[in-house]
Structure 1
Amino acid sequence: MTGLRQRKRQQVHEAISAAAITLFLERGFDEVSVAEVAAAAGVSKPTLFKYFATKEDLVVHRIADHQGEAARVVRAAGGDPVAALHAHFVDGLARRDPVTGLNDHPEVLAFHRMVFDTPSLAARVAVYTAADEAALAAALTGPFDELSAALLAAQALAAQRVLARRTWLELARGRTAAEVHPEAVAAADRSFHRLSHAFEVRPAASEMRS
């Protein structure tokens, strides 16, 4: 029964988000009320807020599917963390993962434009980014001292955001994902190569004191 309830909850969650994003892309995020989203999804407004804490979360939850991903990649790698993050990002480009910016489906392009152009959405994304950065820094502490781990986490996630936005802009100008893919891979290679040279693995502070 627990599994059935969980599946039902997930179905309602997805239905609400899908209805919201459809309305937001048609009319604009700021032009659609939460009440209108609830009506379109066939739920009450209080029910909607049981699933999504804020209006912004109706959109940002799709990005939140990647929450903690960088930290998980580093922990699973067991080797050079920068190389692991690099390989994961390039693999995402090959899969046309929307989070890399390299997906030219019209709805994905419109979704990214909405997030980039809506200040409240960008601010909500920043909340998730800060949590991701903290998780990645924790995963990097060990291979790196605490300060280096924090700096690398911030720069690695910033590099991914910059790369994704640059790629999206190329697609928004009318180019195809297939056309942009080689350039996106080359840009990722350059970016992560610079990160790998900027950070040397050093013992953690606790090891230095022992």
Structure 2
Amino acid sequence: MSGEKAGTGASAHVPVGLRERKKQLTYQAVSDAAIAMFLERGFDKVSVAEVAAAADISKPTLFRYFPTKEDLALHRFADHEDEAARVVAGRAPEETPLIALHRHFLAGLEERDPVTGLCDAPEVLAFHRLLYGTPALVARLYAYQGRSEAALAHALGGDGVAERLAAGQIIAVLRILAEANWRRIDAGESAGQVYAGAVRAADLAFAQLRAGLEQGR
């Protein structure tokens, strides 16, 4: 860590790192156990107490990790909350934010990244059916997207109205593209069959974003 000092100061930070890794492993294990139960029986038919028992922790401890039942299922989205912001912050000097985000999304399509919706792996399809088929999870997902918008607005230059409007449009486009891809796959098409159309849709969406955001300057 860049903030660590040499000598005793550095060694004092090691236990914190170990605790953090253990905490992350616990997050993942509890979330995985919950998702397995949700997929088997349905989100509404599994109680938080049952998840806690399956994970061998108390219910109060579970709520310290996951404030709501919905967060148990959406934990895997947590790493993606600031993904757009990270892409913008880490872009090449000659790239605009939209060019960097467009490139990143196309790369995700090529790699069949589940976040793009273009993934026909059975376990991913099952999770997406759980997500989009559960109103409470869809509603909670908007809270995650709100944090994505805030992080992206900051990466775009601040928390002003212009940055927030731009971030909101970009995050909405990414969500719509991903959901459209998943809908086609859920209807029976393979990721390979959807790929070309997904690329065209992404190109169109980012062209419209550029036109709209540049016009609004």
Tell me the TM-score normalised to structure 2 length: 0.86
Deviation at 1:146, TM superposition (A): 4.0
* CA distance in structure 1 between the aligned counterparts of 2:170 and 2:186, rounded to whole angstroms: 24
Instruction: Give the structure 2 partner of residue 207 of structure 1.
Output: none
Letter in 1 for 2:143: V
Instruction: Give the structure 1 partner of residue 90 of structure 2.
Output: 76
Tell me the alpha carbon deviations over residues 89-135 of structure 1, each in whole angstroms, 9 at most, x when there is no partner.
Answer: 11111121111101111121121122112121112111111111122
Instruction: Give the structure 1 partner of residue 137 of structure 2.
Output: 121
* CA distance in structure 2 between the aligned counterparts of 1:104 and 1:125, rounded to whole angstroms: 21
* CA distance in structure 2 between the aligned counterparts of 1:9 and 1:25, rounded to whole angstroms: 24
Deviation at 1:201, TM superposition (A): 8.5
Instruction: Give the structure 2 partner of residue 150 of structure 1.
Output: 164
* CA distance in structure 2 between the aligned counterparts of 1:7 and 1:132, rounded to whole angstroms: 24
Alignment of 1:87-106 (within 5 A): 87-106=103-122
The structure-2 alpha-carbon separation of the partners of 1:147 and 1:3, relative to structure 1 and needing over 3 Å to count, comes to closer
Deviation at 1:44, TM superposition (A): 1.7
* Identical aligned residues as a percent: 55
SS at match of 2:28: helix
SS at match of 2:90: helix
| Partner residue of 2:63 out of 49, 54, 57 | 49
* CA distance in structure 1 between the aligned counterparts of 2:64 and 2:161, rounded to whole angstroms: 38
* CA distance in structure 2 between the aligned counterparts of 1:202 and 1:171, rounded to whole angstroms: 35
The structure-2 alpha-carbon separation of the partners of 1:7 and 1:151, relative to structure 1 and needing over 3 Å to count, comes to closer
Instruction: Give the structure 1 partner of residue 10 of structure 2.
Output: none
Instruction: Give the structure 2 partner of residue 38 of structure 1.
Output: 52
Flag as ranges the 4+ runs of structure 1 deviating above 6 A.
Answer: none
Q: Aligned residue pairs: how many?
A: 201
Tell me the alpha carbon deviations over residues 144-183 of structure 1, each in whole angstroms, 9 at most, x when there is no partner.
Answer: x944322221111111111101100111011111121111
Tell me the alpha carbon deviations over residues 30-57 of structure 1, each in whole angstroms, 9 at most, x when there is no partner.
Answer: 1000111111112221221121111111
In 2, are the aligned partners of 1:71 and 1:139 still within 8 Å (CA)? yes
SS at match of 1:65: helix
CA RMSD in angstroms comes to 1.9
